[in-house]
Chains A and B, each alone.
Chain A
Amino acid sequence: MTAASLLEATSRPLLATLTFAQDVDAPGLWQRLWMGKNAGSALGDDTDAMYIWLWWFCVFWFVFLMALMVYFVAKYRRRPGVAAIVSPAHNTPLEIAWTVIPTLFLVYIFFRGFQGYMDKLVSPGDAVEMRLTAYKWNWELEYPNGGNSPATAVIGARSVPVFYLPAGVNIRLRMNSRDVMHAFWVPAFRIKQDIVPNRYTALWFNANDPSGDKTHPLDANAATARRLLDASAPDFIEEFKGVPYEDHWVFCAEYCGDEHSEMAAILRIVPEDAFNRWLPTTAEDPNASPADVGRAVYTVKGCASCHSLDGSPNTGPTWKDVYGHEVELADGSRVPGDANYIRESILIPGAKIVKGYGNNMPPFVLSERQIDGVIAYMRTMSVHAGGNAAPPATAPTDPAAPPGTPAPAPN
């Protein structure tokens, strides 16, 4: 038996013992107390076993030391007129013992930690590699076929991407950042790795099958869960109808600015066969209309996290009624919201900042087809959709209309 397999063979039963679990796959009391639930991967559960071992190690020594302390304080409390009992102020065998024994424990802890670390960092040779890009303040995951997941969910204050991934497959993420330091943390897998702008970093995981045949959305994602089962919902995916799935959070774990706390994603683990049926549909469709291409770009490239489609303001200006309208900039000037404006806003967003917004958008690298798509998509949600004609100098508005109502089209 190799050391690694011995470790693995003992981890699960050890976890079960230490966590008082009836069933190894169900989280024990202490795992539930500390982690919330059991891990989403086998290596994650191994990390929990290590953590809970350390927990008990610390509890044992802490209780022992504090009990001694309290006992001595009580037993040897000062009595007026009574001196302290004479006792030696050092004891060489004792001092050697309490130096050597902790050292041995620490050496053991180091090696166990090292082994778990190497297991989690060194990806298996057969791992499927996917590309992950981080930027302020969103994630982009590219599947091996170049496609992306189109799904998003609204959590708390923002829209976050939902990345569908297959269970039971070794997946390796090759990651890099477009701007500042970020970090990819999946608490459920107990793994984290920093994402650096000037090179790739990587991590890998193998997600457990979604537990049982029930779906497990994150609590905050219940609304999305209901929508998934609703065939009329815009992000309903036929291939995943009725399949069990389990959601895991992804959090950015390296401070990166204003919306660091909103830079989340959801890993949605689905059965491998369903995933493989769906994956080809994510590839770029050469026959898609420009507006459809734009709609896909809107979600997969992360525009959704900062730009709304319904007129409501967010981190960035809404896309509704931009094309063909005049745009007021922060410096007071007005520019036409035409195709050039949209193109520049994608490639060099800092060139023109809309009034009321900050300079927060990083430049995006989109293909010409994708830029065409965004322009076409924005035209579908603007009243001035016809051609590339300049808009009237002032769009007549009705002051009595509720905010958000589009201005009446000029005739």
Chain B
Amino acid sequence: MSTHDVPHDSHDPRGLHDAHGHHASYLAPKETFWATVKDWATTVDHKKIGVMYLFAILFMFFLGGAAAMAVRLELWEPVRVVTSTTPSGTTTTEVTGQLFAADAEGTSIGPGNNVYNRIFTLHGAIMVFMVIIPSIPASLGNFFLPIMLGAKDVAFPRLNLLSWYVYLFGSIFAVTSIILGGVDTGWTFYTPYSTTTDAQHWRVVFMILGAFILGFSSILTGLNFVVTVHKLRAPGMGWFDMPLFVWAIYSAAVIQVLATPVIGITLMLLVFERVFRIGIFDPALGGDPVLYQHFFWFYSHPVVYVMILPGMGIINETIAVHSRKKIFGYRAIAFASLGIAAVSFLVWGHHMFTSMSELASTVFSALTFLVAIPTAVKVFNWIATLYKGSIAMNTPMLYTLIFLFLFSIGGLTGLPLGTLSTDLHLHDSYFVVAHFHYVMMGGTMMGLMAGIHHWWPKMFGKMYAEKPAMIAALIVFVGFNITFFSQFFLGTQGMPRRYASYVDEFQFLHQVSTVGSWLLLLGFLLHAGVFIHSLTQGRPAPQNPWGGLTFEWEAASPPIEHNFEHEPICRHGPYDFESTVPPGWKPEDYPLPPATAPVPQGVVVARH
């Protein structure tokens, strides 16, 4: 739909109608290039905001990934100081195995290690604050939550735009601190190291302020979603008629609103401690460093459920649609999502078993096992959904299976970490690093990849090349396992985390892990290529390529500005595959189970 078709008349000043009188796609450009830029810069359209978030998040993912590649490269071999004596009696020492420049004058390894320490901090801070926390809610959540509810937009569209600008602003703050040297505290900023390191305050303060600002973006997004779910559901849609993706985003949004203020306050206290020396965390001033850990993890544990719940939400959609099967145990999954959100606030101490009292550790260990139960139940429900389904093998389904595989490993390896006696050995080792990469990357990121491929035709109106995408997914899967499974062994054998170097006995496993990281890079580069190819040369997508039943498949591909021509009415459940012809499909093209006679599109046969 080019702009030349848009009639300029007073009834349609914004050019929303094309020559055929239909509404234009949300992606349609305006009259001039700068008008289009202004449109996107001032938009309150949740779809445009979601797309901007998506590309920003993918960009930050590559930035954080570059830092990870550097980290794994440094760990290819340990740092060694080789001393040799020349025949004339002079001793020379040489530092080997350090990727980053050591200091020019001497053989001290500290400066080179410092660069490594700043790079792993960068990797963690970017990935946690700028990628994974907003990943699904801000991109796919923004785009699809209103549409799935049949709404035109979120409850507070202007607040949505504000959250995007706050995200940009916070990211710029953080990236600026990185460009100007970065910090070496780890993304957790533990005290008193973070309050006493680095003579110049501003670098640490900048990074902390960046995280603080980003927190507001998260709160605004969460607030918007909670109100939207409560208030903007389509007629006929009760709570238990909503897609489970919405339940997942809603549960995550509740955590975002309740928990994020705690990290905001904590980061503020950290800045005050550094700058004004108030003495809350630094024992030299009468403070308690473990108090900081409690404050920090009180937010940072619930936030990992902000990370994973939306990923699980996507899996609900992809597994149902691509198996053409009603989700097994809808209510169990809905309540499990809420339950996980609630219990997530009770388990933060499991990050601190080696710095708390025995009583506190015991209580937190018991509660940690409690939160494992609804999570396991969800996995059982998904596998049960596959039973007697009609399962297509495409990229979204492949990523769904990859999610199930990798997230199961991540979840199961949480058991030795939640178990007190084994955690005394595994805490702060590579075992923990492997565990959280399996759940965060193998869980959330694979869920994001499943969602992007599932909804790509809807968002951009283009199909992507299926075979290269599936090959890329397999490369990512193999590369991921090589990179991170080896790290479980590193951990149990005694390799601590956040180490710039290590003793010789760990070298082989580190090299295995590094080779895996190269495969991961290859896989993601391939994906980027598939996306670019699709945007530039992909064939146009139909309204409902997969046969989904939720409201987004009733909208055009890509949707018009206000999502729907007419407000949709909820007439069937989100997963009633055995009784409903999907929107946009002709009944003769869509096989219904034999027990049911073919029905016209949209007519209800039975509600769940």
Does A pair with B? yes
CB contacts (< 8 Å) of B184 on chain A: these are 257-258
Contacts of B568 in A (CB 8 A): none
B252 to nearest A CB, angstroms? Answer: 23
Answer whether residue A62 sits at the interface, using C-beta atoms and an 8 A cutoff. yes
- Whether B489 contacts A33 by the Cβ 8 Å rule is yes
Chain B 483-536 interface residues, beta-carbon cutoff 8 Å to A: 489, 492-494, 496-505
- Write out, one digit per residue, whether chain A residues 43-62 have a CB within 8 A of any chain B CB (1) or not (0): 00011001100100110011
Contact of B602 with A by CB under 8 A: no
Q: Determine whether the beta carbon of B494 is less than 8 Å from that of A62.
A: no
B-binding segment of A14-22, A178-186, A226-234, A338-346 = A178-186
A276, CB-defined interface residue at 8 Å: no
Q: Find out whether the CB atom of B420 lies under 8 angstroms from the CB atom of A117.
A: yes
Which stretch in A103-111, A144-152, A389-397 binds the other chain? A103-111
Q: Are B91 and A311 in contact (CB under 8 A)?
A: yes
- Per-residue B-contact encoding for A161-202, CB less than 8 Å = 1, 0 else: 000000000000000000111010101101111101110010
Interface centre among B91, B110, B373, B423 (most CB of A within 10 A): B110
Tell me, in angstroms, the Cα distance from A207 to B454 when the chains sit together.
Answer: 56
Query: In this complex, what residue of B is CB-closest to A405?
Result: B90
Contact A117 B361 (CB under 8 A): yes
B503/A220 in contact, CB under 8 A: yes
A72 to chain B, nearest CB (A): 4
A180 to B189: give the CA distance in the assembly, Å: 12
Q: Which residues on A sit within 8 Å (CB–CB) of B501?
A: 156-157, 261-262
Q: How far is the CB of A400 from chain B (nearest CB, A)?
A: 12
Interface residues of B in 375-434 (CB under 8 A from A): 376-377, 379-380, 383-384, 386-393, 401, 404-405, 408-409, 412-413, 415-416, 418-425, 427-429
Within 8 Å CB of B505, what residues of A?
Answer: 36, 219-220
A180 to B197, CA, bound (A): 10
A120 interface residue (CB < 8 Å to B): yes
Q: Chain B residues with Cβ under 8 A from A121's Cβ?
A: 358, 424
B176: interface (CB < 8 Å): no
A residues contacting the other copy or chain, number (CB 8 A): 105
A84 and B421 contacting across the interface, CB-CB below 8 Å? no
Closest to B197 in A: A257
Alpha-carbon separation in the docked complex, A84 to B416 (Å): 39
User: Which residues of chain B are within 8 angstroms of A286 by Cβ–Cβ distance?
Assistant: none
Instruction: Determine if A255 is an interface residue (Cβ-Cβ < 8 Å).
Output: yes
Bound together, the chains give a CA A158 to CA B405 distance in angstroms of: 42
Contact: B90 with A72, CB < 8 Å? Answer: no
* CB neighbours of A110 from chain B (8 A): 365-366, 369, 418-419
Chain B interface size, under 10 / 10 to 19 / 20 to 34 / 35 or more: 35 or more
The reply to whether B503 and A157 contact each other, CB–CB distance below 8 Å, is no
Interface 9-residue window, one of A75-83, A125-133, A288-296, A375-383? A75-83
Give the residues in chain B near A85, CB-CB below 8 Å: 388, 593
Residue A69 at the chain B interface, CB threshold 8 Å: yes
State the CA gap A85–B387 with chains docked (Å).
9
Task: Pick the residue among B289, B389, B419, B424 that contacts A72 (CB under 8 A).
Answer: B389
A83 to B594, Cβ gap below 8 A? Answer: yes
Q: Any chain A CB within 8 A of the CB of B19?
A: no
Q: A72-B387, A113-B365, A187-B493 are in contact. Are A90 and B422 (CB under 8 A)?
A: no
Residues of A within 8 A of B361 (CB): 117
Instruction: List, sorted by A's number, 29 A–B pairs whose CB atoms are closer than 8 Å.
Output: A47-B425, A51-B422, A62-B409, A65-B383, A66-B404, A69-B386, A73-B401, A77-B390, A77-B391, A78-B392, A83-B594, A90-B332, A94-B384, A95-B332, A102-B377, A116-B420, A121-B358, A121-B424, A181-B192, A190-B424, A192-B425, A219-B504, A253-B496, A255-B186, A259-B109, A260-B500, A403-B90, A404-B90, A405-B90
Binding site for B on A (CB under 8 A): 33-36, 46-47, 50-51, 54, 57-58, 61-62, 65-66, 68-69, 72-73, 76-79, 81-87, 89-90, 94-95, 98-99, 102-103, 106-107, 109-110, 112-122, 155-158, 179-181, 183, 185, 187-188, 190-194, 196-198, 201, 218-220, 249, 251-262, 264, 310-315, 356-360, 402-405
- Sorted nearest first, the 10 A-B pairs with minimum C-beta distance are A116-B421, A187-B494, A313-B106, A198-B283, A113-B419, A117-B420, A261-B499, A194-B355, A72-B386, A84-B390
